[in-house]
């Protein structure tokens, strides 16, 4: 398999999950500005949506959308217990978390990466994200991870997007539960390996 990624982007989530699952894969770095891979290939020809992650399977098929990719990886290695079995109530609960992270947290950050965002609108965006952080913090006060006591694919995704607070000027210290949660996940060997491979250890420290 090949994972197309941009360092620190949402592709970090499936990168972490691949390492947690112990699956063999190659990393293909993409330049977010030029949309070229390290080898010079046109990334837009690989994914017409023009964004990472993309997981290229051994048969040449390509999967996009991080929330889908991490479930595919988990299902490839069920013994790793990174996701509940398909069709179970807990699997739908996992999908609930993945959708919440994708639509309410991940996309909530997007405007903050626009350098032309007016300051007044930035305040609105940050305040809205704050309400999402409040919800997550309340849940994680009683749970070590999103699905309870065990790390899973939703945690890899949430860790990835919470890490963006460092780059957009949000003080995660206002949510000590989330800060502790992020530190707990950052300490996992698979996460350290993924961060190192993407050249992010200094940024993540």
pLDDT of residue 164: 98
Share of the chain above pLDDT 70, in %: 98
What's this model's pTM, rounded to 2 decimal places? Answer: 0.96
What is the average pLDDT across 111-136? 97
32-44 tens-digit pLDDT:
999 999 999 999 9
CATH architecture assigned to 2-81: 3-Layer(aba) Sandwich (3.40)
Sketch the domain layout of the chain as residue ranges.
Answer: 2-81, 89-190
Mean pLDDT, residues 150-161:
98
Rounded average pLDDT over 51-58: 98
Distance between CA atoms of residues 139 and 166, nearest Å = 22
φ, ψ of residue 174 in degrees (nearest 5): -70, -15
User: Which residues share a beta bridge with 145?
Assistant: 148
Residue-wise DSSP of 115-175: TT--HHHHHHHHHHHHHHHHHHHHHHTT-SBTTBSS--HHHHHHHHHHTTHHHHT--GGGS
- Rounded (10°) angle between helices 176-186 and 119-140: 70
Q: Which two tokens stand for residue 204?
A: 């993540």
Biggest CA-to-CA distance, the chain: 49
Domain 89-190 in this protein, CATH class? mainly alpha
């Amino acid at each position: 398999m090949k994972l197309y990624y941009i360092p620190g982007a949402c592709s970090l989530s499936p990168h972490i999950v691949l390492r947690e699952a112990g699956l063999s894969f190659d990393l293909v770095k993409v330049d977010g500005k030029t949309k070229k891979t390290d080898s010079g290939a046109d990334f837009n020809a690989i994914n017409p949506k023009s964004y990472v992650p993309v997981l290229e399977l051994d048969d040449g098929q390509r999967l996009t959308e991080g929330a889908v990719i991490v479930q595919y990886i988990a299902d490839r290695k069920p013994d790793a217990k990174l996701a509940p079995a398909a069709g179970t109530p807990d699997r739908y609960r996992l999908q609930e978390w993945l959708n919440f992270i994708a639509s309410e947290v991940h996309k909530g950050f997007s405007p903050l990466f626009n350098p032309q965002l007016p300051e007044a609108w930035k305040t609105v965006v940050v305040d809205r994200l704050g309400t999402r952080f409040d919800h997550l913090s309340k849940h994680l006060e009683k749970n070590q991870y999103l699905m309870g006591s065990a790390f899973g694919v939703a945690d890899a995704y949430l860790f990835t997007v919470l890490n963006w607070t460092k780059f957009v000027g949000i003080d995660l210290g206002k949510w000590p539960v989330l800060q502790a949660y992020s530190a707990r996940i950052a300490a996992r060997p698979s996460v350290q390996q993924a961060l190192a491979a993407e050249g992010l250890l200094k940024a993540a420290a």
